[in-house]
Structure 1
């Protein structure tokens, strides 16, 4: 899917799932020093970077992403929100040698680790980027959200999700990892793990129909040859019609881990 469509989906996710994002940002803000240097790994359109800058008005945020077009989009949003002076962007491929980013008080990695070729290496790099006692927050998801409330639609969504899970596994994506264990292996102390079961019922935010449409269209991308022609035609028809529906739901699961780099006194000698 084109970057413009992905950017729209990320912005719609922030809009429709605003309560989830607010809860996580409020929690993270409560355990982060007011004057912090924050690194957002795989920042995308800046949902986390911008929310953290607003939650912590004395913080400096560095947003890192491989896509310059995403970072440009983020900069425009930062300007509109009045936080451009505290948001800095760095274009970098986090699967390659990282640019100088340290020292940081908080590293934020939302739905980005599963994309990395070697998440263990990325976690080691994140550990080195943090000051002693600094925090890493990892958010991961199991799949795209589900939207269709009727039995036939939900069954079609399930078949699509199963096919996409096979594609992701074949591509070597790191979905379904035990991130708590991976964090501990990298040298972090895991302080908390919170699981969010998101189940939104009508009436929903006005953007929900478009969010469902873009999500279904993104899910459709790559399914040729994975589902039969009837399912693909049905998915196309559903995607075309969801913006006008008032019976959609939003069902998703996300898990957030809070871990810290040990203080120097906690490091084994």
Structure 2
């Protein structure tokens, strides 16, 4: 198993306080879909680099995207593997509808099958026998991840690959000294959500390597990639930061001081000269870890 640390920089590049595809505490499917689409846009090149580095022994023909959301991974995989078709699985009917609309707009609807399913159920729907299964920012939402991993192993074709991609928490956007009125506000807001995440998303930040091994996989690659995307290179980063910090506020507000809450509200006030949408010093800073595990 290799451990690779890469620093990546993207111009327009697929994990809210937590934006995975399990639906935890999101105000609406529509609001979550907006975040997922922005997530896909700002991290597109990064996601493509992950698919290109998977330790595949042959080109996959059938891929299953578990917790597909609005299709960030699905379309990256379809572009990377031109002869493949993807079965996209999610709990949200509206997310799947958006994914289908995107597939039709791109003229690749015949290469996409959508399946609405709750992957916390023990009996999964018929998904065929894929060569590759992909789970980006979705496994940590599973109520019983050990059982889900066993289900994945049973589905995969012999020798097939399972790729688990997880963000190391929620991205950071503001420089250390910002905002000027309350430096360090972003870190305090994140800290205020820790108890919520511990209760509602206990597997966030988990090391999936040992769990994959216990489930009968051979982990062939594990790598952590550093994401550092300058906001000046993409207008979408401001909207992405706004959407995520808006969701963080809904959880963090009771634990923040009145001064911190007022400063956060000013960042989220689109009419304020200090609005996130007007800042030119934003960046996406986070890490993603990728586990590539073989069914042997």
TM over 0.5, shorter chain: yes
Pairing of 1:238-253 with structure 2 (within 5 A): 238-240=267-269, 241-253=275-287
Matched, 1:31 2:65: no
In 1, Cα distance between equivalents of 2:74 and 2:281: 32
Q: Where does structure 1 differ by over 6 angstroms across 4 or more consecutive aligned residues?
A: none
Deviates more, 1:184-193 or 1:144-153: 144-153
Residue in 1 aligned with 2:291? 257
Structure 1 residues 202 and 113: alpha-carbon distance in aligned structure 2, compared to 1, 3 A threshold:
closer
Question: Does structure 1 residue 141 correspond to structure 2 residue 167?
Answer: yes
| Partner of residue 205, structure 2 | 176
Residue 18 of structure 1, CA deviation: 2.2
Moved more, 149-158 or 86-95: 149-158
Q: What is the SS of the residue equivalent to 1:101? A: coil
Structure 1 residues not aligned, in runs of 5+: 263-269
The 10-residue stretch of structure 1 (210-219 or 228-237) with the greater mean CA deviation from structure 2: 228-237
Contact persistence 2:66–2:134 (CA under 8 A) = yes
Query: Normalising to structure 2: TM-score of the pair?
Result: 0.84
The 8 Å contact of residues 89 and 116 in structure 2, kept in 1 or not, is answered as yes
Whether the aligned pair in 1 keeps the contact of 2:78 and 2:86 (CA below 8 Å) is yes
Q: Describe how 1:57-206 pairs up with structure 2 within 5 A.
A: 57-96=82-121, 97-153=123-179, 155-206=184-235
Q: Distance in 2 between matches of 1:238 and 1:215?
A: 12
TM-score by structure 1 length? 0.92
| Post-superposition CA distance 1:9-50 (Å, at most 9, x none) | 11111111222112112223x726335111111000110011
Kept in 2, the 8 Å contact 1:184–1:190? The answer is yes
Distance (Å, rounded) in 2 between the aligned partners of 1:69 and 1:201: 31
Secondary structure, aligned partner of 1:260: strand
- Structure with bigger RCO (C-alpha 8 Å, 6+ apart): 2
